[in-house]
Amino acid sequence: MGMKKFAEEILAMVAARNPAEPEFLQAVHEVLESIEPVIEKRPEIAKLKIVERIVEPERQVMFRVPWVNDAGEVQVNRGFRVQFNSALGPYKGGLRFHPSVNLGIIKFLGFEQVFKNALTGTPIGGGKGGSDFDPKGKSDMEVMRFCQSFMNELFRHIGPDTDVPAGDIGVGAREIGFLFGQYKKLTNTFNGVLTGKGIGYGGSLVRKEATGYGLVYFTTRMLEARKTDWKNKTVVISGSGNVAIYAVEKAQSLGAKVVALSDSNGYIYDPDGIKLDTVKRIKEVERGRIKEYIADHPKAEYHEGCKGIWTIPCDVALPCATQNELDGKDAEILVRNKCIAVAEGANMPSTPEAVKVFLDAGVSFGPAKAANAGGVATSALEMSQNSMRMSWPFEEVDMRLRQIMDGIYKQCDQAAEAYGAKGNLVIGANIAGFLRVADAMLAQGLV
């Protein structure tokens, strides 16, 4: 029925309208491919142009962020907030501070966020933001001045019932604290406008751990489907930031042996298993580089270049650094080394070629939208607690996180089977997420 043509036409339109945004096109392409059978079954989706509407952000804001560095020099960065879709709730999604940030990167992340948030079953829409500011090597005071200037513009676009940002690469507890302080000063309100706040002023227990823990909970279901578990599995995890650290913590607690971590300069290999206390000290306290691990553990190796991490033989690989960090060649090496499961902690870390290699080889593959949704799900729990002016104990939030991850796995698995792609969690996640958003948009009319 020419469904291929339908997807191709929309993709061509998106490409023409959004030049020089390859990551955004990559994300749209994957979703369009997956939902072809849905379009066939549900003619009202094409008729009411749901797909054409869903690829167009509801609103995008770009702004100047001027600030002064410690040397007294004026610096100018660019700020972004893309409010992608509010069919299911207030826009929700992180802020990324990294020199590679541009509009296309924020749009790819915002687009993915829409479907991810839908999968969590919590009432949140999708958005994303950030800046090309590089927090690396900046003093606390420089970071504070930058965050204050960033919020001087952002505050007028966000709110606890409008748009609720959180952290992402380069934005952790310190940055959220400075952003929250400035929002409070500008609006004279203390509310749940940001998530990932400190526990002492409205943050939720488990939010810090949530993406990494959730990733491991999701992967547990993938392993179960293969009739196995984490015990004695050799695991490679890329990155060494928030997501990676708490993925290590949970995987180790379930009996896995995590042997490698990385940052953008290189990777460490510790055949005895990564000592997480050392990593937490270096990364969370000293804001240092992963190679410093070797000073404490001389039996471990450090290798320059982060790509080499995928050559380490492992049973399970969890890419937790950044987009397109694992390509087709890396995937082939992992398959040759008998890797049985890959789950994405980062957003879109596997290139389309890599995903194809994994699926063709029968490797269990957990796509980011589903596998890393634990962070935003727990942010939604933080919003609930803020609205109630209550805070739940660690065990309660952790239990809810686990239930949400189990629910996401089930939805993806069932949607894949219902649409003739049993076991393909990429198709399952895209269809299940898309349907939830599409149905809400259909119900709400042309807005």
Active site residues: 128
**Comparison of 152 and 204: residue with beta carbon closer to ligand NDP:** 204
Verify binding: residue 351, ligand NDP, rule CB under 6 A.
no
Among 369, 357, 345, 360, smallest CA distance to 425 is for: 369
Least CB distance to ligand NDP at residue 251 (A) = 15
Could you give the CA distance from residue 217 to residue 343 in angstroms, rounded to a whole number? 11
CA 385 to chain centroid, in Å, comes to 22
394-418 and 207-225 helices, crossing angle to 10°: 40
Verify binding: residue 306, ligand NDP, rule CB under 6 A.
yes
Verify binding: residue 202, ligand NDP, rule CB under 6 A.
no
352-361 and 328-336 helices, crossing angle to 10°: 20
Could you give the CA distance from residue 364 to residue 346 in angstroms, rounded to a whole number? 17
| Stretch in the footprint of ligand NDP (CB under 6 A) among 7-15, 118-126, 169-177, 390-398 | 169-177
Could you give the CA distance from residue 230 to residue 219 in angstroms, rounded to a whole number? 9
Those residues whose C-beta lies under 8 Å from the C-beta of residue 265, and which sit 6 or more positions away, are 289, 290, 291, 304, 305, 306
Could you give the CA distance from residue 191 to residue 202 in angstroms, rounded to a whole number? 8
**Comparison of 345 and 367: residue with beta carbon closer to ligand NDP:** 345
| Stretch in the footprint of ligand NDP (CB under 6 A) among 85-93, 220-228, 343-351, 357-365 | 343-351
| Stretch in the footprint of ligand NDP (CB under 6 A) among 142-150, 237-245, 292-300, 331-339 | 237-245
**Comparison of 7 and 90: residue with beta carbon closer to ligand NDP:** 90
Sign of CA dihedral 33, 35, 37, 42: negative
Q: Of 125, 126, 129, 239, which one interacts with ligand NDP (CB under 6 A)?
A: 239
CB-side neighbour CA atoms (13 Å) of 172: 15
Binding mask 85-114 for ligand NDP (x = CB under 6 A): ------------------------------
Q: Of 119, 235, 320, 335, which one interacts with ligand NDP (CB under 6 A)?
A: 320
Least CB distance to ligand NDP at residue 395 (A) = 20
| Stretch in the footprint of ligand NDP (CB under 6 A) among 66-74, 315-323, 382-390, 407-415 | 315-323
Which residue's beta carbon is nearest to the bound ligand NDP?
241
Could you give the CA distance from residue 220 to residue 217 in angstroms, rounded to a whole number? 5
Least CB distance to ligand NDP at residue 281 (A) = 15
10 Å CB burial of residue 316 (0-12, 13-18, 19+) is: buried
Interface contacts to ligand NDP, rule CB under 6 A: 167-170, 172, 211, 239-244, 263-265, 306, 320-322, 325, 345-347, 372, 375
